[in-house]
């Protein structure tokens, strides 16, 4: 039975989930039907893309802060600051 939608597995799905040959690749979500598995994989990929975008934005923000600090420290009045 699918862990998400509670739909019963078909015979084909049981064969896909059952690892009789250990050289086969393990499925990412063996406890879900094909539809729920594809949605889970898509959600994981979207989360990875969102995390990558967040890290890129953070990197750009830090670079901008460092550049602003370098410009602020390089002025002719900087020697009078304590």
Higher pLDDT, 76 or 9: 9
pTM over 0.85: no
What Å distances lie between residue 64 and 22, 51, 58, 59, 76, CA to CA? 51, 20, 10, 9, 21
- Tell me the C-alpha distance between 78 and 24, whole Å: 65
Report whether 37 contacts 9 (CB < 8 A): no
> Who has greater pLDDT, 39 or 23?
39
Tell me the domain boundaries of the chain: 1-20+29-64
Q: Return the pLDDT at 35.
A: 80
Distance CA 29, CA 43 (A): 12
């Amino acid at each position: 039975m699918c862990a998400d939608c509670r739909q019963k597995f078909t015979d084909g799905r049981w064969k896909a989930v059952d690892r009789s040959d250990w050289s086969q690749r393990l499925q990412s979500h063996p406890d879900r039907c094909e539809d729920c598995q594809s949605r889970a994989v898509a959600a994981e990929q979207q989360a990875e893309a969102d995390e990558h975008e967040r890290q890129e934005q953070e990197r750009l923000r830090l670079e901008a802060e460092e550049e602003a600090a370098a410009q602020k420290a390089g002025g002719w009045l900087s020697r009078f600051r304590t």
